[in-house]
Amino acid sequence: MDNEHQNVFLWGYSVPYQQYLANSERDTWGLVKYAKTKLLDTQYTRHERQALEPVIDQLIKKKIIRPHAPKGSPDPRNVADVITDFLTRAFIHTKRQFEALQVPLAGSIIQFVMTVPTIWSPQSSRILQDSIAASIRASGFGTLDQECVDNLIIISEPEAAATYLMASNKTILVCPLDPERYVC
């Protein structure tokens, strides 16, 4: 953001929308994109991770986020705070939407389903789980059971897509090649 708006926290679609309204290319030192790629160390995410590193460095330097890293790690840039901040804003927004629609939340069971890349490590999923727990505490949306997220499902992206497809498709078409062997 430019100097006039440097203390404004924007998230999600409000970022490009505010840039559009201002008809400007504001300073993007604090623009965080693809934060989850820091949790996935592969050749396919290398470009996004490298682009994110100086942004994370600046946010740590300005004490906007804390450095997070396992003890002895040479790289203090962990995005737990960034992911937590985003999820907190998303949960607050969701909570407000339920309130606006007059959906009673008291006594309701809220289930969180998060999709992750297939090749994510259990450690990456644990960081996500910790970020979700911190976001629930900060937003008041959802419940924790002994500091753990109650009703959390972490599922791989392909499995989530297949589950959605199967649930939304009431009829399964049979392939004409060999109807006894292939299902479309």
Element at 53 (helix H, strand E)? helix 46-61
Q: What whole-number distance in Å separates Cα of residue 26 and Cα of residue 14?
A: 14
Q: Which residues contact 14 (CB under 8 A, 6 or more apart)?
A: none
pLDDT of residue 2: 44
pLDDT at 169 over 80: no
> What percent of the chain is modeled with pLDDT above 90?
8
Average pLDDT over residues 73-86: 70
pLDDT at 72 over 70: no
pLDDT at 109 over 70: yes
- Contacts of 137-140 with CB under 8 Å at 24 or more apart are 138/84, 138/88, 138/91, 139/88, 139/91, 139/92, 139/95, 140/95
pLDDT at 3 over 50: no
pLDDT at 104 over 70: yes
Residue from 75, 70, 68 nearest 54 by CA: 75
Q: What whole-number distance in Å separates Cα of residue 59 and Cα of residue 77?
A: 10
pLDDT band at 6 (very low <50, low <70, confident <90, very high): low
Average pLDDT over residues 99-127: 86
pLDDT band at 35 (very low <50, low <70, confident <90, very high): confident
User: Is-contact 52 35, C-beta < 8 A?
Assistant: yes
